[in-house]
Chains A and B, each alone.
Chain A
Amino acid sequence: MKRELQDWFTQRGWKPFKFQKEVWSAIARGESGLLHATTGAGKTYAVWLGALMAFGAVAQVKRARAATKNIALDAREKTAPPLTVLWITPMRALAADTLRALQQPLDYLKGEVIDDDGVIHPVAPGFTWTAGARSGDTATSERSAQNKRLPTVLVTTPESLSVMLSRADAREVLGSVKMVVVDEWHELLGNKRGVQVQLALARLRAWRNESDPQPACPALSARDLRPAQAERKGVGSAGARINPAGAAEPALPGRRRSAPSGGSAVREATSVGALSIWGMSATLGNLDEAMHTLLGHNNGTLVRGAVPKKLIIDTLLPPRAERFPWGGHLGLTMLPQVIEEIDKSSTTLVFTNTRSQAEIWYQALIAARPDWAGVVALHHGSLDRAVREWVEAGLKSGELKAVVCTSSLDLGVDFLPVERVLQIGSPKGVARLLQRAGRSGHAPGRPSRITLVPTHSLEMVEGAAARVAIAEGHIEARTSPQQPLDVLVQHLVTVALGGGFVADDLLREVRSTAAYAGMSDASWEWALNFVRQGGASLAAYPDYQRAVPDDDGVWRVPDARLARRHRMNIGTIVSDASMAVQYMGGSKIGTVEESFAARMKPGDCFLFGGRLLELVRIHEMTAWVRRASGKRPAVPRWNGGRMPLSTTLADAVVQQLAHAGEGNYDTPELQCVRPLLELQQQWSALPTPQTLLAEVLKTREGSHLFLYPFAGRHVHLGLASLIAWRVAQHAPRTFSIAVNDYGFELLSVTEVDWPALLPEVLAAGIQPHGKQETSSAQAGAVEPASPGHRRSGPPGGQRTTRSGERGGNLLHEVLASLNASELAQRRFREIARVSGLIFQGYPGEKRSSKQLQASSSLFYEVFRKYDPANQLLLQAEQELLAQELEIGRLRASLARIATQQLVVKTLARPTPFSFPLMVERFREKLSNESVADRIARMVEQLEKAAGGSVLVGDAAQVKGTLAFGQEGASDRADAAIKRPRRERKPSRPLPLL
């Protein structure tokens, strides 16, 4: 088998790379591991040919034996082997391309060759492997054929794998899997889909260990397997090997890495015939941890792929920075230059950060260059599959000149013709920038090149900063979410459906994953109770049950209707209810969020799929549209998460600012942004790694504080809530919070003496040795010590480690500040959906399931009131801390702030740094004022307005005090002022029925 495959390889004019050979032999030794390589480097064949060499021989050997002994093959052996390799890909769109790549060597092996004597004979006699794909896109006919018999290799998604696990015969059809390949593991690792994969792998691993004590590949003798450990130590010149003890693991702030449970992991990995798991990942700062998370143990082989190509990062600079818009703009002023760049290159990918931005840019490009219609295309996740496939085909063939896209084209097969990549707006992180840059320059000898197109001035600094970070090898790490109970609850029901489970066995299995290794017995018990009776106490949830243990202690789902609903709702991707967009009597174009469609009236126009559409009517969850022209359109908003600037990149930006502050404007980017940085310095100051800049401003809106910790928007939200909460302990207040990646704003109607208060509230949690309070949160978690909340603890408690106590205080304080805001409620939305609280409805279902639909906020309220001990509420808080607010980063930021010198500047007018925050429309609130007081103030203001005094929007007022920068975009600026600052639903007449 090995020889035949190598023949195939060389026939195509390829020579195996060193890393490919390494992977082949590692798989042959029965090892698991992680291959780290860029797209287009040949990683698919590294793993796939390795799999064929190791497992493809089985049938052949049997066949050969049968042939020599002249035994007739029974019918079973004539058919293809059962499902042997599972190939998991994060995107449905990738499944078809991956399948095509896997199919090629199969076709060769199943074909025939003519040897030197002119005799025709099969390449690999007896080789009968089949390949197939299964995802949400798979046709029903193919699906039912697969239900009878799955192919030997199946390409699938995490969601479809979970659905297969929920089949009553799951073990029968999936128990034969010998190898699982997880493609683009870096995309899954850091989120709940990755946790879903971890749980599914644990299931497959357990079945493999129980059912097949025989060697997986007869081609290998026991002798080959036994010294695997020793061999691993000996080999390893190029491929980085992992120390099984994990000594080299990087310590991550705020996240405790879980050790593999006991020695079972090692036994598992080396035991004969264990499930072989291989991941493929792009560049990450923590590859060792990424591998551990995938395998559930440290006993794997990390193989580094071919050296990345040469990389060029540059920035498209506006002719004059001072004519440049500031924040919340789309950067369309850069359009002429972007057109010029596209014109110069053969094929260009234009990445944007949001789907709406992609729509706007596409429209602007076509408006400016009508001759590009047909050769410039648009690609994002809400477009219909047919449209997306057309664009992808055009990219592959090189027919398209440019494609405006979102992260929808981050992953996947190579588009060889792509020569340039433009990134509109901040790349947000170094890893993401590398990933996107890697989409270009696949032709031999060409470098990868990414050009940043700033949408506001400070983003120019990011370009220079990213170059420095990459040169110094600073790349972000990604870590698995810890013990998300919502995913566990879903998994419990899935497994109960998939043949049922015995609680203790499943607990052992779940704990073998990195995500749940440290899960407490109490959490497990709670999850079991939740699926059984809704909560810990039966009394709270009368008449409810989902999964229950039968007389033999095997948990099953007795209700067929619930079973069906669960299978339809498996998954951890949470999206808003969406509505199909379709031409009157014509084709489907894609989907928009229901909430967007609900705000539109028939006759309204919107931009979608690069076209101006007029809404005709909404019927049966479909928005029927026709082409329109001339009218001013709305642009749909899709509520995607907003990615924070990574610490790595943010740190690099501050370095650059400090560098500039010392008068060094030595890169094109810094030179361009120089006038504005100098203005900032003149009116206020520039942040540096050693100082924390605070700006204070009074306007008619109230009292503003701007603080610039440069820690990313998530951490800023946590910091802002914390500081607001601490200040509100002095007197009840309501704060409006705006954040961006550089800093945040706290706005209060009532006056706050920030210069006096700020040093105090910043110091409250971070006295001199605050730096030590890194990871001992639990130690003092129950010790509140804020002013006015101090509980007298036991005398001994006072002497316990000071740092631990403070760490606990911080956690307590942040939690308290959360209770005063609406953040936890928002987080609860995803949790409610994943754990099955919110019923999404069946895909393509025409009738709405209204009687079962309630918003997550309703659930949140009713849980808080009637079942406050519900662990999903607790999870909402914990996820908020860990993911939304990144408590680890938050602690690190507070520790850093403690070492920084606070610089408070009282402003006469908004500075270049503060203006984007001031006009930010998306805001959080924190209040400990009585509701009645707040309403009274708002009503009073309405009264005043009604009495004749004119309400002026804050944007207009701000503009009056602005002395920089708007002349270039004055039309747009005026339009911005006329617009209401808060999104309002249009008022509708009461329905007359």
Chain B
Amino acid sequence: MSLPLSSASPPLSPLPAPVKAAVAASVCKVQWAGVELHLLPERALWWPQGRTLFIADLHMGKAASYRALGQPVPGGTTQENLDRLSALIGKHSPQQVIFLGDFLHAAAARTASVMAALAQWREQHVSVAMTLVRGNHDSRAGDPPASLRIGVVEEPYLQGPFALCHHPQLHAKHFVLAGHVHPVCRLSGRGRDSLRMPCFVAEAGQAVLPAFGEFTGGWMVGAEVGRRLYPVGGGVVWCLPGVG
């Protein structure tokens, strides 16, 4: 029995202001903080001018920590994550990769196999500088071992026009790039079709990246005045019209 009275939430604003047409290129180019950035369908952010790749919420070893705590999750996600990262690095040849927090999932994730896979992966990209902005999971899981040569900093970490953070926030001077919430959004249309997809979220003064890691959940973000959503699906980053 559907109950019309329940949980009435306001509908999306019915008359959105006209905006530019949606771009359906596999990469979505945006201007944030006055510089050009590329939203990649691999759920990563590329800053061409700074030759920097931003990755949020890798959650390395999440499945391994489940297993260590007695939950049977099959292995393979760690290697898959690293392979995707390697492919991205190969494609864009960044000078540096900056992780926006939650590099390791938990202390229990520091198993021999995960650490070995990480070390091997780091070997392949010795020339690339890597920095981790410490996130809430990192505080508990501990910093990556020094042998991985990943610099660890606290948020906000200032780089060019950006304040790099793990938790979404506003910064007095800089545009914030953050992660933490694993944003996803729902797109719906005629014929009662709908899809749930990870997305980039941009608001005044800050933007949030989708989680890069496999085996991570999501936090539903709705449309709002002053907010733009860039869902990732079908190998494409889409740009939705804003509301209001």
Interface residues of chain A, those whose CB is within 8 Å of chain B, are 328-330, 353-354, 356-357, 360, 425, 455, 530, 534-535, 539-544, 546, 559, 561-562, 565, 596, 599, 633-637, 642, 700-702, 734-736, 747-749, 836-837, 839, 851-852, 854-855, 858-859, 861-863, 865-867, 870, 920-923, 925, 927, 930-943, 945-948, 950-951, 972, 975-976, 979-980, 982-993
Contact = CB atoms under 8 A, between A and B. Distances in A.
A541 B238 contact: no
A735 B194 CA distance: 11
Interface in B67-93: 67-77
B203 A990 contact: yes
B181 A931 contact: no
A942 B238 CA distance: 12
Nearest to A849: B69
Contacts of B236: 932, 935
Contacts of A540: 74-76
B70 A635 contact: no
Contacts, number: 245
Nearest to B192: A736
A833 to B, nearest CB: 12
Interface in B43-89: 63-77
B192 A938 contact: no
Interface in B1-55: 1-12, 14-19, 21-22, 24
Interface in B184-220: 186-195, 197, 201, 203, 206, 208, 214-217, 220
Interface in B133-158: none
B76 A947 contact: no
Nearest to A942: B241
Nearest to B76: A866
12 contacts: A540-B74, A541-B74, A927-B193, A932-B24, A933-B234, A942-B189, A943-B241, A946-B17, A984-B186, A990-B208, A993-B168, A993-B169
A946 B44 CA distance: 28
A945 to B, nearest CB: 6
Given A946-B16, A984-B222, A599 B73 contact: no
Given A634-B7, A749-B193, A935-B187, 20 more contacts: A535-B72, A540-B76, A633-B5, A635-B6, A637-B3, A852-B66, A852-B71, A854-B215, A862-B73, A862-B215, A866-B74, A866-B77, A870-B74, A927-B193, A938-B190, A938-B194, A939-B238, A942-B189, A976-B4, A990-B181
A862 B191 contact: no
A839 B222 contact: no
Nearest to A642: B1
A945 B11 CA distance: 14
Contacts of A599: 7, 9
Given A543-B64, A993-B167, A862 B16 contact: no
B221 interface: yes
A963 to B, nearest CB: 22
> Size range of the interface on B?
35 or more
Contacts of A839: 71
A486 to B, nearest CB: 13
A933 B189 CA distance: 12
Nearest to A599: B7
Most buried by A among B1, B63, B240, B241: B1
A921 B67 CA distance: 39
A930 B15 contact: no
A983 B5 CA distance: 11
A854 B19 CA distance: 38
Contacts of A972: 4
A931 B241 CA distance: 19
Nearest to A938: B189
Contacts of A982: 188, 192, 194
Given A635-B5, A991-B167, A991-B181, A984 B12 contact: yes
B118 interface: no
B170 interface: yes
A866 B186 CA distance: 26
B67 A534 contact: yes
B2 A920 contact: yes
Contacts of A990: 168, 181, 201, 203, 206, 208, 221
Given A535-B72, A544-B67, A939-B187, A858 B215 contact: yes
Contact of B220 (A535, A852, A865, A985): A985
B2 to A, nearest CB: 5
A634 B8 contact: yes
B111 interface: yes
Contacts of B94: none
B113 interface: yes
A541 B67 contact: yes
A950 B11 CA distance: 14
B238 A935 contact: yes
B26 to A, nearest CB: 10
B74 A985 contact: no
B161 to A, nearest CB: 20
A634 B6 CA distance: 5
Contact of B234 (A329, A747, A930, A988): A930
B130 interface: no
Contacts of B190: 700-702, 749, 937-938, 941
A861 B218 CA distance: 14
Contact of B191 (A356, A748, A947): A748
Nearest to B185: A987
B106 interface: yes
A920 B2 CA distance: 8
Contact of B193 (A329, A937, A940, A950): A937
Nearest to B107: A851
Contact of A937 (B6, B189, B216, B222): B189
B193 A736 contact: yes
Shortest beta-carbon contacts, A-B, top 9: A987-B222, A932-B234, A749-B191, A534-B72, A938-B189, A736-B192, A931-B234, A544-B67, A866-B76
Contacts of B75: 539-542, 866
B115 interface: no
A134 to B, nearest CB: 27
A614 B42 CA distance: 43
B160 interface: no
Contacts of B4: 328-329, 972, 975-976, 979
B24 to A, nearest CB: 6
Contacts of A851: 65, 69, 105-106, 108
A942 B188 CA distance: 9
B22 A939 contact: yes
A855 B15 CA distance: 35
Contacts of A735: 191
Contacts of B201: 990
B70 A559 contact: yes
Nearest to B4: A976
Contact of B223 (A543, A935, A987): A987
Given A330-B3, A542-B67, A636-B6, A535 B74 contact: yes
Contacts of B18: 946-948
B6 A867 contact: no
A987 B11 CA distance: 10
Given A634-B5, A635-B3, A635-B5, A854 B217 contact: yes
B202 to A, nearest CB: 10
Contacts of B203: 990
Contacts of B224: 987, 989
A972 B76 CA distance: 53
A702 to B, nearest CB: 4
A328 B2 CA distance: 5
A143 B11 CA distance: 51
Contacts of A837: 71-72
Contacts of B222: 984-988
A987 B199 CA distance: 15
Contacts of B65: 851
Nearest to A867: B74
A328 B4 CA distance: 7
Contacts of B73: 534, 541, 859, 862
Contact of A946 (B8, B19, B191, B197): B19
